[in-house]
Amino acid sequence: MGLQMLKKWLIGAGKMKVKVGVLALQGGVTEHLNHLNQIENVQVAPVKKPEQLNDCNGLIIPGGESTTMRKLIKHYNFTEAIKAFDQQQKVIWGSCAGLILLAAEIEGENNEQLALLNIKVKRNAFGSQLDSFIDKAVIPKVSDSVQELVFIRAPLITEVGQDIDILYQKEGQIAAVENKNIIATAFHPELTKSTIFHQYFVEKVKSLSN
């Protein structure tokens, strides 16, 4: 068995760590790192340089200020690196601002962004900072357990392409989706005590690392 085949077998068997990076330019980096560090067989790293993606199996683009993050992604030459990461079918998860950056279109804006996910979004659709709230729901594809869903100036997904699966809707409003290798959530699982959503992300990373 060759080295690459052995690595894939070990990952599939749960005997080797997958490496997950959190884009560490701005936003809720520490919270994601703390959640990932609670999961077995996961090596975690803050990603500050594009070349660090070469060693990662998965990437989280955290919540934060999407306009600032977009500028930093461009300034530090991450745009093409993240697009190449996606083309390799490696797993990316964008939460809140990360969702906005991944979207193909933002309502009312002509923006330069990653545009890796076939969705259209509306900024701050669930209200301002003062309108932040916590919802509770079961997301069947993720877990049978009730999860807390923290919404802070959250975007709304207003349109989805045919390749998109809807994970969660709040009163008919789409707040979480995925395709083969990308997850996007309008809410912040990293701001709860639960690691359920991070475990779901890690399992997706492992499945595509086989």
Provide the annotated binding site: 64-66, 123, 152-153
Q: What is the CA radius of gyration of the chain?
A: 16
Q: Known catalytic residue: 190?
A: yes
Q: List the catalytic residue out of 31, 32, 96, 178.
A: 96
Q: Are strands 18-23 and 42-47 parallel, antiparallel or unpaired?
A: parallel
Q: Known catalytic residue: 112?
A: no
State phi, psi for 174 to the nearest 5 degrees. -75, 125
Distance of alpha carbon 137 from alpha carbon 176, whole angstroms: 12
List binding-site positions for L-glutamine.
Answer: 64-66, 123, 152-153
Q: List the catalytic residue out of 32, 35, 178, 188.
A: 188
Distance of alpha carbon 15 from alpha carbon 207, whole angstroms: 13
Beta strands in the chain (DSSP E): 18-23, 42-47, 58-61, 91-95, 103-106, 117-122, 133-138, 146-151, 156-160, 165-170, 173-178, 182-185
Distance of alpha carbon 62 from alpha carbon 97, whole angstroms: 7
Q: List the catalytic residue out of 31, 32, 35, 190.
A: 190
Active site residues: 96, 188, 190
